[in-house]
């Protein structure tokens, strides 16, 4: 998956779509966002959905009441993998380069290093 990156606001919208596991209207997405304390307008959510559709993250279909229903074209797991690859590439392209950036500042605690070793061990098995 090599999609354009999305903004924090677009990600908030995607989170609501992924969490619902069903197609949603703009009003339903807006209501879900407001439950979290976000005070966006209907037009803002509509604009974010238009951007997400242009970037091929969502699509829509018309309901029997002639309202647009939005659904994801990209799953959460695929998105996470793609974002992780993009993040690692900013540090030289390898996981080793990324971890080296942390270790050069002594930011990793001994227990974190042990957790990483266990994680690598699980992958290796």
Summarize pLDDT for 23-67 with one digit per residue, the tens. Answer: 999 999 999 999 999 889 999 999 999 999 999 999 999 988 889
Contact residues for 28 (Cβ-Cβ < 8 A; gap 6+): 20
Q: Which residue has the higher pLDDT, 85 or 14?
A: 14
- DSSP helix/strand/coil, 59: strand
Question: In the predicted model, what is the mean pLDDT of residues 10-24?
Answer: 96
Strands, E assignment, 19-74: 58-62, 68-72
Determine the straight-line distance between the first and last CA of the chain, rounded to whole angstroms.
27
> What's the token pair of residue 5?
């990156």
Q: Mind listing the domains of the chain with CATH numbers?
A: 8-72 (1.10.10.10), 92-125 (no CATH)
**Which token pair is 79?**
């998105």
Contact yes or no for 56/17 (Cβ under 8 A): no
In terms of residues, how long is the chain? 125
Distance of CA 118 to the CA centre of its chain: 26
pLDDT above 90 covers a percentage of the chain that reads 52
Is pLDDT of 102 > 80?
Answer: no
Per-residue model confidence (pLDDT) at position 44: 97
Q: What is the mean pLDDT of the chain?
A: 87
């Amino acid at each position: 998956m090599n999609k354009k990156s999305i903004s924090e606001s677009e990600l908030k919208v995607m989170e609501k779509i992924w969490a619902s596991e069903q197609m949603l209207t703009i009003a339903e997405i807006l209501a879900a966002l407001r439950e979290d304390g976000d005070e966006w307008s209907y037009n803002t959510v509509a604009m974010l959905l238009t951007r997400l559709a242009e970037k091929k993250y969502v699509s829509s279909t018309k309901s029997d009441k002639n309202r647009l229903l939005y659904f994801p074209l990209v799953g959460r797991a695929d998105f996470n993998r793609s974002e992780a690859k993009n993040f690692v590439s900013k540090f030289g392209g390898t996981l080793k380069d990324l971890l080296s950036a942390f270790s050069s500042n002594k930011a990793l605690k001994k227990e974190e290093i042990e957790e990483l070793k266990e994680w690598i061990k699980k992958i290796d098995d």
